[in-house]
Chain A
C-alpha cells in the first residue's frame, strides 16, 4: 500500500472505531439506570 492509502485506512479505522464505541455506549446506557 502507498503511504496515502495506508493513511486512508487508518482514518477509516478511527471513524469506524469511534462510532462502534459510541453504539456500544448507547447499548450500555440503560444499565447506568
Chain B
C-alpha cells in the first residue's frame, strides 16, 4: 500500500463520517414528519400525490397490509418494465433504433431492477433506448431504493411502538423517501456529475474521426460470415483500418446519481463507472464512491435518533466499520502486491513516481489501485454493484473481498434500508445468543426477543445463502452453467460463485468474464433475485409487526447493553462466523485455491 493511497482512503472515511450526522438527522426529521426544511417546497407536491392516488396518509397499516402493498407495488412495476423492454422498438426516444429486448433478458432485467439488484446481462449503450433507461430503469432506481427505506422505517417503528397493531403507511413512507430524500440528493449529485463531464442529452450516438488510425489483422469472411480458407486450410488474413469511433450519448448523469445514491448500481453504459462518460475524473469518482455509502451510513444515525438512543445507531455503524476496514485493507494490499508470476518474470511491479505498480489489469489509470479497491469494497458492502474496475481481473485475494462482502448478506452498510434491516436481523440473533450464553433475557431496545423473531431473523439470513450455494451448485454441474465461464479451474468456479452471490444478495455487480446473457443465467438468476429480495423483506415486516405489538420492557439489571464495544465486537463476530461457516468451503474451491496456485 502506498502513502498516497492510504491518504485518499483516509480522506474518504473522514468525509463520509462527517456527513452521517447532518444527513441522518435530516432523514429522521423526514420520517418523524417534523419540519425538515424542504416542506414548504415539496409539501404541496406531496399532498397532490396523495390526492391523485387516493392515499390517506393518516391510515395506518398492519404488517400484512404493509407487505401486501409492497408486493402489489412491485408486481405492477414488473409488468410495466417488462412491457417497456419488450416493445421499446416501437416506442419513442430510441434514436439508435434498438429492437425489443428478448423475453429472457427482459425478465432478468425487470426482476433485477424491481429488486434493487441491477444485475445487468446486457450492455446499456448497445441494447436499450433512452426511454427504457429513463422511464423503465431510472424510475425503478428510485422506487426500489425507497421501498427498502420504507421497510426499514416500518421495522424501526416496530421497536418504538408499544402494544400497537400497525407499523405505518407504506405509500406515505415510499413517497416521503422518494420526494424528500432521494430526489433532492439525486438532483444535486447529477448537477455535480455534469460539471465533471458526465453526459446528459438525447442526441443520437456520434461518429467521430480517430486522432490516430488503428490497423489490425482480421480473417477474411465470405457472404455467410465464415472464414475464407487458403488451399492448405489456413484462414486468409486481411488488414482492417479503423478511422472513426462511435461515441454513445444519452441522459446518463441523472441516472448515475440515483444509481449510486440508491445503492442500485446499474450502469448507463456497459462498463459502468469505468466508462469515461459515466465517471470521467478523479473528483467524479470520489463523489460517486461517496454516494454509494452515504445514505446507508447515515441511516444508522437516523435509526438511533428515531429510537431515542443515538448510541445504538453509532454502535451498529461501528460494527460495520469493524468488518469493512480490514476487508478494504485486504483488497487494497492484494491489488497493490501485484501478480507474483510477473514479479518472477522480472516485470517491475513496484510503485513509484512514474507508475502505480501492483495489479493494474482491468483498472482505469485515472483512478489507480487505491480507488479501485475502495470502490470494489464499498460497492459490494453496500449492495450497490456498480464498478469502476473489472473485478474478474483482481488478484485472487482482491477478488475474494467483494465476494465475501456480498456473501455476508449485504449487511455491512448494505442497501439503502435493506442493509440496516438485514443487520438488525443479525442483531436479533446476536442478542438471543448472548442472552443464552450469559443467562440474560434476550431484549433489544426494550422489546423481548422471542422464538418468533428468531425464526424470522433466521429466514432473513439463510434465504440468500441458500440461493447462492444452490445456484452455484446447479451452474457447476450443468452444461448451460459451465459453458458461460471464460476461464477453466478455480477462476471459472469463482465466476459462477460471484454471479450467484451477486444476484441472490441483490448486489448486481459482475465479476465479468461470465457470459450471463443466456436463458439459463437469466432465468435462474432472476428467480434468485426475487427470493433474495422479497423473502427477506417479508420476514422483516413480520418482525416489525410482532415487535410493535409487544410491551416496552424498561432496562433492568438483567438487560444486555447493546451499545458497548463488547457488543459491537460480538455482533461483528456473529456476522463473520455465519458468513464464514456458510461460504468458506465454496471460497476454498474458488479464490483461495487460485491464490494458493499463484503462490505455490
Contacts and interface: CB of A to CB of B under 8 A. Distances in A.
Interface of A: 4, 7-8, 10-12, 14-15, 18-19, 22-23, 25-27, 29, 32-33
B107 interface: yes
A33 B527 contact: no
A26 B67 contact: yes
A14 B527 contact: yes
Interface of B: 64, 67-68, 71, 74-75, 78-79, 82, 86, 102-104, 106-107, 111, 452, 455-456, 523, 526-527, 530-531, 534-535, 538-539, 542, 546
A25 B103 contact: no
A32 B457 CA distance: 13
Contacts of A26: 64, 67-68, 71, 538, 542
A25 B535 contact: yes
Given A19-B71, A23-B71, A29 B86 contact: no
A7 B71 CA distance: 23
Given A7-B104, A32-B455, A18 B538 contact: no
Contacts of B103: 4, 7-8, 10-11
B255 to A, nearest CB: 24
A23 B530 contact: no
A23 B455 CA distance: 18
A27 B538 CA distance: 11
A18 B539 contact: no
Contacts, number: 56
B139 to A, nearest CB: 18
Contacts of A11: 82, 103-104, 106-107
Given A15-B79, A19-B74, A32-B455, 12 more contacts: A4-B102, A12-B82, A15-B78, A18-B531, A18-B534, A19-B534, A22-B535, A25-B535, A26-B67, A26-B68, A26-B538, A29-B456
| Most central of B67, B103, B527 by chain A CB within 10 Å | B103
A25 B538 contact: yes
A6 to B, nearest CB: 9
Nearest to B451: A33
13 contacts: A4-B103, A11-B103, A14-B107, A14-B523, A15-B78, A18-B531, A19-B75, A22-B538, A26-B64, A26-B68, A29-B542, A32-B456, A33-B546
A22 B452 contact: no
B107 A33 contact: no
Nearest to A26: B67
A10 B542 CA distance: 31
A9 to B, nearest CB: 9
| Most central of A10, A27, A29, A32 by chain B CB within 10 Å | A29
A27 B71 CA distance: 13
Contact of B86 (A8, A14, A23, A25): A8
Contacts of A4: 102-103
Contacts of B456: 29, 32
Nearest to B67: A26
Nearest to A7: B103
| Most central of A4, A14, A15 by chain B CB within 10 Å | A15
A13 to B, nearest CB: 11
A1 B534 CA distance: 32
B71 A22 contact: yes
B526 to A, nearest CB: 8
A29 B530 contact: no
Contacts of B531: 18
A18 B74 CA distance: 12
Contacts of A18: 527, 530-531, 534
A33 to B, nearest CB: 5
A12 B111 CA distance: 11
Contacts of B546: 33
Nearest to A5: B103
B68 A23 contact: yes
Contacts of A7: 103-104
A32 B459 CA distance: 12
A32 B450 CA distance: 12
Nearest to B65: A26
Which 4 residue pairs of A and B lie closest in terms of their CB atoms, listed nearest first?
A7-B103, A11-B107, A29-B542, A33-B452
B553 to A, nearest CB: 19
Contacts of A14: 107, 523, 526-527
B111 to A, nearest CB: 8
Contacts of B526: 14
B80 to A, nearest CB: 12
A23 B67 CA distance: 9
A27 to B, nearest CB: 8
Contacts of B452: 32-33
A22 B527 CA distance: 13
Contacts of B534: 18-19, 22
Nearest to B102: A4
| Most central of A11, A18, A19 by chain B CB within 10 Å | A11
A32 B530 CA distance: 22
Nearest to A33: B452
B83 to A, nearest CB: 10
Contacts of B455: 32
A29 B75 CA distance: 21
Contacts of B539: 29
B519 to A, nearest CB: 8
